[in-house]
């Protein structure tokens, strides 16, 4: 019979989130991250509708116009409203980054569980494969496949998701190895529980705090990777754009001192990564304080 110290930690992902999101005054980091993330999400999701300006309309009489009441963030070299473009760029960025994060999260979690719960020989084979994947420079691999694969939303999601899972897979594998010999896992096996049952009922619940924190960090990594690809011209393709694409376009005009085309997209990328970092650090602090 299991004693109190050997009982599995029954923390589902939903209950874990509910407990962590009970904001307290002392956890300013988590609060700031959530507020910043909410602002970015709302601006990207409903901002284009509320603002109501066409991001693709050409205003030839106002080419490279600075910020004004009519154009809060000025216009670009084709006379397009930079603020309207920034809002739709945020939507395009999140449309790719969030599903890509989900792909990487699912693949990394399943791979780590399979390695940690499988036979020793399978674990060694999967880890050697993982080491080989981790040895590849991620940005170079992204550029290589981005240059040969037809780029659209679906291919970008798969490309980013399938290149970003190895670190999470190693973490999940190590956590699985740390838990697989616990008494509650042996008891579940003796009662007829299969590997899928053990993973879903016990291991994922135990690892829920770690997985939630790493998911937030993974979102920031994905936004940065997409921005880097778009900056190189291999991300979201015209006529659509992303924050990285806007930054690249603005830097091409830096000699004309069009700072309003560089600063806003750069700040949005920074703000998105800062929000995910603050949320992750806040969740870690909440978890460590319990």
Which segments of 232-262 does DSSP mark as H helices, in order? Answer: 243-252
* Three-state DSSP class for residue 289: coil
| pLDDT tens digits for range 213-264 | 899 999 999 999 898 888 888 888 888 889 999 999 998 888 888 889 999 9
CATH of the domain at 206: 1.10.3720.10
54 falls within a domain:
yes
Distance CA 224, CA 201 (A): 34
The per-residue pLDDT for 188 is: 67
Report if residue 242 sits inside a domain.
Answer: yes
Query: Is the pLDDT at 22 greater than 80, yes or no?
Result: no
- pLDDT number for residue 265: 94
- The average confidence (pLDDT) of the chain is 83
Q: Determine the pLDDT at residue 288.
A: 53
Domain that holds residue 252: 44-288
Sign of the torsion formed by the C-alpha atoms of 69, 71, 77 and 80: negative
Report yes or no on 2 lying in a domain.
no
Total-model pTM = 0.82
Specify the number of domains making up the chain: 1
Is residue 10 included in any domain, yes or no? Answer: no
3-state SS assignment for residue 11: coil
Q: Are 126 and 186 in contact (CB under 8 A)?
A: no
Query: Does residue 22 lie in a domain region?
Result: no
> Considering the domain boundaries, does residue 33 fall inside one?
no
């Amino acid at each position: 019979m299991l004693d109190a110290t050997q009982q599995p930690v029954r923390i589902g992902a939903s209950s874990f989130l509910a407990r962590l999101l009970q904001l307290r005054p002392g956890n300013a980091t988590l609060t700031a991250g959530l507020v910043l993330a909410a602002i970015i999400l709302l601006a990207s999701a409903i901002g284009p509708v509320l603002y109501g300006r066409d991001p693709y309309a050409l205003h030839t009489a106002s080419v490279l116009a600075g910020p004004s009441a009519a154009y809060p963030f000025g216009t670009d070299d084709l006379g397009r409203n930079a603020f309207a473009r920034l809002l739709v760029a945020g939507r395009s960025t999140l449309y790719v980054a969030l599903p890509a994060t989900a792909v990487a999260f699912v693949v990394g979690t399943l791979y780590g569980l399979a390695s940690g719960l499988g036979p020793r020989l399978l674990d060694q084979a999967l880890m050697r494969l993982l080491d080989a994947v981790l040895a590849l420079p991620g940005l170079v691999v992204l550029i290589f496949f981005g240059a040969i694969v037809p780029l659209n939303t679906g291919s970008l999601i798969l490309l980013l998701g399938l290149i970003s899972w190895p670190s999470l897979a190693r973490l999940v594998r190590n956590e699985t190895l740390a838990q697989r010999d616990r008494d509650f896992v042996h008891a579940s096996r003796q009662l007829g529980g299969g590997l899928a049952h053990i993973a879903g009922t016990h291991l994922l619940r135990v690892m829920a705090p770690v997985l939630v924190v790493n998911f937030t960090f993974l979102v920031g990594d994905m936004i940065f990777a997409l921005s880097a690809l778009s900056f190189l011209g291999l991300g979201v393709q015209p006529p659509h754009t992303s924050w990285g694409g806007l930054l690249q376009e603005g830097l091409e005009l830096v000699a004309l001192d069009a700072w309003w085309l560089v600063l806003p997209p750069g700040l949005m990328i920074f703000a998105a990564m800062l929000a995910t970092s603050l949320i992750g650090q806040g969740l870690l602090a909440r978890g460590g304080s319990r």
